[in-house]
């Protein structure tokens, strides 16, 4: 270990234990209006953001402009002959607060198709990457490389009035969303299918065109993609990808800088990357046990071993939800309706049957041992032959763009300012806690 690293280790590790003990002992003490525990955990639960597009309730899950996922499945327009909602509809709903008509959704499909051409330099940038570069790295860089086309950046340079910011922001958001399926499919085909690309079909809706460009043969996959891209679109404003997008956008960075930043947050294993981690974990379990359909007892033991190894069980737990994630349930219901006997899907259901109790028992402080959206999505994709699990978070990202970019339009329309929370040093925190306790003692006396 070099001398600087050794000095850092000597300082930081004891400090980490000391701080954890301090926070535990003073978790409820209020510093201004937030508790010490909230300072330590990135303001968890503190109401300090405005997000119009959706609201998350711990006990009911996500509602997009008031509509739950089962309700959306009934009220959003669908493609001819399909039973799943079109993601164009959720974008319209999130951006305007109104349910779109079938004609409005058809217009939006066409509008995105018209804006979907990707400049050659974006493909050139991607082609400089080794094909085994993580797809999320490629996705984030591709989004960033589109920044050269920003309408907002050009308008800002020309001195646009701040009251008009929302207008070029909307244009950029629409242009970027329109291009994401092409970019994502390009990454998929170059990374996993020898660079044999499939031309877009501009007559298809946004999700179906994406499915087609990925090259998945089963026509039913288009239906799954419509559902998938709808339910992953938003989870109110405080989750890491939404918050990163919003924070970056608060500096008046355009949608390209902002979404790229949001995608970098989504790429973390505690956030969106959990969808790939779930399948990696399940496939490792199958390999280690030497069987495709382990018993529930074997799964229970594998969960215990994971927890004993100081690792998380991917796909379980949530910072806000205290129930099984309705996005998990939506996928479960889809699989029950379409392929209830799929072996891998049944393993996912067996994990669901045993994991929550084990997690609760081994980690008594866990707030929710229930499955989240990522516990199910990989197995559903595997059914259609999308086995390249390193790609899964890109699919999540294409969908998440809908919510966070609708929100960015609102941020600029409402004139939100630059974000700047106050940080404190550990010393300051200790002094603030001492002062707060003193004031409390005086008021009691
Ligand atoms: C989502 C997640 C990051 C939320 O974290 P959080 O808000 O800190 O959750 P909690 O307050 O319930 O965590 C309390 C403790 O339980 C642990 N915990 C939570 N979920 C866990 C899981 N699935 N497996 C193991 N431990 C878990 C936390 O790491 C924490 O441990 P610590 O006291 O040693 O620091 C967490 O549940 C997790 O890591 N899940 C697995 C990854 C995942 O599926 N992410 C996708 C989320 S949509």
DSSP 143-167: HHHGGGG-HHHHHHHTT--GGGTHH
pLDDT of residue 40: 87
Structural tokens at position 150: 């920003």
Angle at 85 between CA 315 and CA 173, to 5 degrees: 80
Q: Which atom of ligand 1 is nearest to the CA of 235?
A: 48
pLDDT at 41 over 90: no
- Provide, rounded to the nearest whole percent, the portion of the chain with pLDDT above 70: 100
Asked if the 288-383 domain carries CATH number 1.10.230.10, the reply is yes
Provide CB contacts within 8 A for 329, sequence distance 6+: 69
Residues in the chain, how many? Answer: 445
Higher pLDDT, 112 or 441: 112
54-273+387-413 folds as Citrate Synthase; domain 1 (1.10.580)
pLDDT of residue 175: 98
Q: Phi and psi dihedrals of 67, rounded to 5?
A: -100, 130
pLDDT at 445 over 80: no
pLDDT of residue 308: 97
Our answer on whether the CB atom of 315 is closer than 6 Å to any ligand 1 atom is: yes
333 close to 73: Cβ distance less than 8 angstroms: no
When pLDDT is cut at 50, 70 and 90, the band that residue 32 belongs to is confident
pLDDT of residue 43: 86
Structural tokens at position 100: 């779109």
Q: Which atom of ligand 1 is nearest to the CA of 317?
A: 37
Structural tokens at position 366: 């866990």
Render pLDDT for 322-358 as a digit per residue (tens, 0 to 9): 999 999 999 999 999 999 999 999 999 999 999 999 9
Q: Which residues pair with 371 in a beta bridge?
A: 316
Report the predicted TM-score, pTM, of the whole model to 2 decimal places.
Answer: 0.95
Our answer on whether the CB atom of 281 is closer than 6 Å to any ligand 1 atom is: no
- Compute the average pLDDT of residues 400-427: 95
Burial class (CB in 10 A: 0-12, 13-18, 19+), 360: middle
In the residue annotation, 243 being an active-site residue is answered as no
pLDDT of residue 316: 98
When pLDDT is cut at 50, 70 and 90, the band that residue 123 belongs to is very high
The conformation of residue 321, written as its DSSP 8-state character, comes to: -
Structural tokens at position 347: 């393993």
Which range among 213-217, 410-414, 439-443 shows the weakest confidence by mean pLDDT? Answer: 439-443
- Compute the average pLDDT of residues 426-444: 89
**Which of 271, 325, 376, 383 is an active site residue?**
271
User: How many other C-beta atoms can be found within 10 angstroms of the C-beta atom of residue 18?
Assistant: 12
pLDDT at 67 over 90: yes
Query: Half-sphere exposure (CA, 13 Å, Cβ side) for 226?
Result: 25
pLDDT of residue 159: 98
Structural tokens at position 412: 């600029």
Determine the 3-state secondary structure of 372 from DSSP. coil
CA of 291 to the centre of ligand 1 (A): 28
Our answer on whether the CB atom of 318 is closer than 6 Å to any ligand 1 atom is: yes
- Residue-range domain boundaries for the chain: 54-273+387-413, 288-383
pLDDT of residue 42: 84
**Which of 243, 374, 376, 411 is an active site residue?**
374
pLDDT at 387 over 90: yes
Averaged pLDDT score across all residues of the chain: 96
Specify the residue for token string 């309730």: 57
CA of 304 to the centre of ligand 1 (A): 15
Q: Phi and psi dihedrals of 280, rounded to 5?
A: -60, -45
Our answer on whether the CB atom of 364 is closer than 6 Å to any ligand 1 atom is: no
Our answer on whether the CB atom of 235 is closer than 6 Å to any ligand 1 atom is: no
In the residue annotation, 158 being an active-site residue is answered as no
pLDDT of residue 353: 98
Render pLDDT for 364-379 as a digit per residue (tens, 0 to 9): 999 999 999 999 999 9
């Amino acid at each position: 270990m070099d001398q600087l690293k050794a000095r850092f280790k000597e300082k930081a590790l004891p400090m980490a234990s000391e701080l954890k003990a301090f926070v535990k002992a003073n978790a409820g003490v209020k510093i201004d209006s937030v508790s010490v525990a909230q300072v330590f955990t990135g303001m968890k639960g503190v109401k300090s953001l405005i997000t119009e597009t959706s609201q998350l309730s711990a006990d009911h899950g996500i509602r997009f402009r008031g509509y739950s996922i089962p309700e959306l499945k009934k009220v959003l327009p669908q493609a001819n002959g399909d039973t799943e909602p079109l993601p164009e509809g959720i974008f319209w709903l999130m951006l305007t607060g109104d349910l779109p008509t079938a004609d409005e959704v058809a217009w939006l499909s066409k509008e995105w198709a018209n804006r979907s051409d990707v400049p050659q330099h974006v493909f050139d940038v991607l082609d400089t990457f080794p094909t085994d570069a993580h797809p999320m790295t490629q996705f984030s860089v591709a989004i960033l490389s589109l920044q050269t086309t920003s309408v907002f950046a050009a308008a800002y340079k020309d001195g646009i009035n701040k009251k008009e910011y929302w207008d070029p922001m909307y244009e950029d958001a629409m242009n970027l969303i329109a291009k994401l399926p092409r970019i994502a499919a390009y990454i998929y085909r170059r990374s996993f299918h020898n660079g044999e690309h499939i031309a877009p079909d501009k007559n298809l809706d946004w999700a179906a065109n994406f499915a087609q460009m990925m090259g998945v043969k089963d026509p039913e996959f288009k239906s799954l993609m419509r559902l998938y891209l709808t339910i992953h679109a938003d989870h109110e404003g405080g989750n890491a990808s939404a918050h990163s997008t919003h924070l970056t956008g608060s500096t008046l960075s355009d949608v390209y800088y902002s979404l790229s930043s949001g995608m970098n947050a989504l790429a973390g294993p505690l956030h969106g990357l959990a969808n790939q981690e779930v399948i990696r974990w399940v496939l490792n379990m199958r390999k280690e046990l030497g069987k495709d359909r382990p018993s529930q007892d074997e799964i229970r033991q594998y969960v215990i071993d994971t927890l004993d190894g100081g690792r998380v069980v991917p796909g379980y737990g949530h910072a806000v939800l205290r129930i099984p994630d309705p996005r998990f349930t939506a996928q479960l219901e889809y699989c029950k309706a379409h392929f209830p006997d799929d072996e891998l899907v049944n393993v996912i259901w067996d994990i669901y049957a045993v994991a929550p109790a084990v997690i609760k028992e081994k980690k008594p402080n866990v707030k929710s041992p229930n499955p989240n959206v990522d516990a199910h999505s990989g197995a559903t994709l595997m059914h259609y032959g999308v086995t390249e699990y390193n790609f899964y978070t890109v699919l999540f990202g294409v969908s998440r763009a809908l919510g966070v970019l609708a929100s960015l339009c609102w941020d600029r329309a409402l004139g939100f300012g630059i974000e700047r929370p106050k940080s404190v040093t550990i010393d300051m925190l200790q002094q603030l806690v001492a002062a707060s306790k003193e004031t409390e003692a005086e008021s009691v006396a």
